[in-house]
């Protein structure tokens, strides 16, 4: 349980760091880290907007995953096993919600840009 606990704690830290750096615009579109779905990856603007919208969902996921890791090496076995399952499931759910929020935000940004382009063509 010690090794998996350390790995989960480090994973939680990595999710938090990635979420924050991407939301601040420090971490730009790349091939390895961040919310890697087409709508968010489309432009630098959609990347940044999507990550800003998903920031707190990603931080919540990081806490759930990191917390599960800490519990797995610091709590009694029965509590650790339950905490591990709950933390992992909660972390996954929060990551999925964050990706959905990022997608909707990025998609809305694209839709607004298309509307402005269409309005500009009409005039």
**Whole-number average pLDDT of the chain:** 90
Is the per-residue pLDDT at 4 higher than 90?
Answer: no
Chain length of the chain:
123
Q: Which two tokens stand for residue 103?
A: 């997608």
Q: How far apart, in whole angstroms, are the C-alpha atoms of residue 54 and residue 56?
A: 6
Four-residue CA torsion sign, 86, 88, 93, 98 = positive
Domain holding 89, by residue range, is 2-122
Model confidence, pTM: 0.85
Report the distance separating Cα 43 and Cα 66, nearest Å: 31
* pLDDT of the residue at 118: 63
- What residue spans of 25-123 are helical by DSSP H? 38-41, 44-74, 77-122
The total number of structural domains in the chain stands at 1
What percentage of the chain reaches a pLDDT higher than 70? 91
Q: Around Cβ 120, how many Cβ atoms within 10 Å?
A: 8
Predicted confidence (pLDDT) per residue in 96-121, tens digit: 999 999 999 999 987 776 666 666 66
**Per-residue pLDDT tens over the stretch 63-109:** 999 999 999 888 888 888 898 899 999 999 999 999 999 999 999 98
d(CA 41, CA 32): 12
Compute the average pLDDT of residues 14-34: 95
Residue-level pLDDT at 1: 73
Mean pLDDT, rounded, for 45-54: 96
């Amino acid at each position: 349980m010690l090794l998996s606990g350390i790995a989960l704690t480090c994973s939680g830290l990595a999710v938090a760091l990635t979420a924050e750096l991407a939301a601040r615009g420090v971490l730009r579109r790349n091939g390895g880290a961040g919310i890697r779905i087409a709508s968010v990856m489309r432009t630098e603007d959609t990347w940044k907007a999507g990550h800003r919208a998903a920031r707190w969902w990603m931080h919540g996921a990081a806490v759930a995953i990191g917390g599960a890791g800490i519990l797995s090496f610091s709590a009694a076995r029965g509590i650790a096993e339950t905490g591990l399952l709950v933390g992992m499931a909660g972390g996954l759910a929060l990551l999925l919600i964050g990706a959905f929020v990022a997608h909707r935000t990025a998609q809305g940004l694209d839709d607004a840009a298309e509307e402005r382009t269409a309005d500009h063509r009409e005039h």
